[in-house]
Amino acid sequence: MTTFISVGNALQPFSRLAKIINQVELMLPRPIFIQSGNTIFNCKEATIKKKITLTEFEERVLNSNVLILHAGAGSVIHALQKNKLPIIMAREKRYGEHIDDHQVEFANALAMLDRVLMIKNKEDLEFAIHHKNKELSEIKNNERLLTLIDKIIDSRLN
Q: What is the mean pLDDT of residues 61-75?
A: 94
Q: Where are the domains of the chain?
A: 3-157
pLDDT over 70 percentage in the chain = 83
pLDDT averaged over every residue in the chain? 86
pLDDT exceeds cutoff 70 at 103 = yes
b/e per residue, 70-106, with b = 16+ CB within 10 A? bbbeebbebbeeeebbbbbbbbbeeeebbeebebbeb
CA dihedral 60, 54, 14, 29 (to 10 degrees): 0
CA–CA separation, 137 vs 130, rounded Å? 10
Report pLDDT for 139.
46
User: Which tens digits make up the pLDDT trace of 12-67?
Assistant: 999 999 999 999 999 999 999 999 999 999 998 999 999 999 999 999 999 999 99
Q: What CATH code is assigned to 3-157?
A: 3.40.50.2000
**With bands split at pLDDT 50, 70 and 90, how would you rate the model's confidence at 137?**
low
Nearest by Cα to 90 from 111, 118, 115, 132:
118
**With bands split at pLDDT 50, 70 and 90, how would you rate the model's confidence at 138?**
low
pLDDT exceeds cutoff 70 at 150 = no
pLDDT exceeds cutoff 50 at 158 = yes
Contacts of 78 (CB under 8 A, 6+ apart): 57, 58, 61
Report pLDDT for 113.
87
